[in-house]
Amino acid sequence: MNRFSAHMRLVFHKWCEIPQLYRLYRKEPSFLLFDLKLFFAYLLSNPYKLARGAAPFGSTPLSTYAKMARAFGFKKRSDYLELGSGTGRGALWYATHLDMKVRGIDLSPEFTKRARAANHPRAQFSEEDILNTDLRSADIIYFYNTAFDNEFMEAFIMKLTEIKPGALLITISAPLRSKELYLYKRLEVTFPWGKTFAYCHRKG
């Protein structure tokens, strides 16, 4: 699938998500301000093109972020880290709805610049390599890992010794095979490209 087709599928999925978004906005109306800032930041931009030269771009629907928070028992005011935060939308939702202190990292300078421009007091975004990121302070880590190759994933698994006891690590489509973590729960989730599973691991 080329970047334009992927972008059109993403736009279509966002339109289909409007009824669910309405319920989320009702729960946390202040988030609408941050979401509108992101909407206008990407109104004339294709995020798949902005990601060119950085890590692959994949978009997690806001309704999927909300579903994972409920199913995996995310606690308010946790420290949340998103590895490959893209537009920052999900991180901003958690910062607003769950009062989390969030940190989003991405290789794309355009993504990080636009996410910072939303100016959320509980969110930080930086241009950073996942394999160089400090994982030690995070209570919850989200990693949309579907587009990364085996060599990268093996290097990432070596970093999991950094995660603190009790922390959660969520991956998409496949669980991680690591002695540092055990699989806590599995959840069916929806993406613009179809249904898959989110895997929640816990550090023992």
The full set of domains in the chain, from first to last, is 3-203 (3.40.50.150)
Which has the closest alpha carbon to 47: 113, 96, 125, 102? Answer: 113
Query: Pick from 112, 151, 116, 148: which is nearest to 128 by CA?
Result: 112
The model's pLDDT over 117-168, given as tens digits with 9 standing for 90+, comes to 999 999 999 999 999 999 999 999 999 998 889 999 999 999 999 999 999 9
Q: Name the more confident of 148 and 18.
A: 148
How far from the centroid of its chain's Cα atoms is residue 166's Cα?
20
What mean pLDDT comes out for the span 168-196? 94
18 token code pair: 């409007």
pLDDT of residue 4: 54
Q: SS3 for 27? A: helix
Token pair for 201: 């691991």
- Alpha carbons 177 and 184: distance in angstroms, whole number: 13
Residue type, 87: T
For residue 204, which amino acid is it?
G
* Residue 9 scores a pLDDT above 70: no
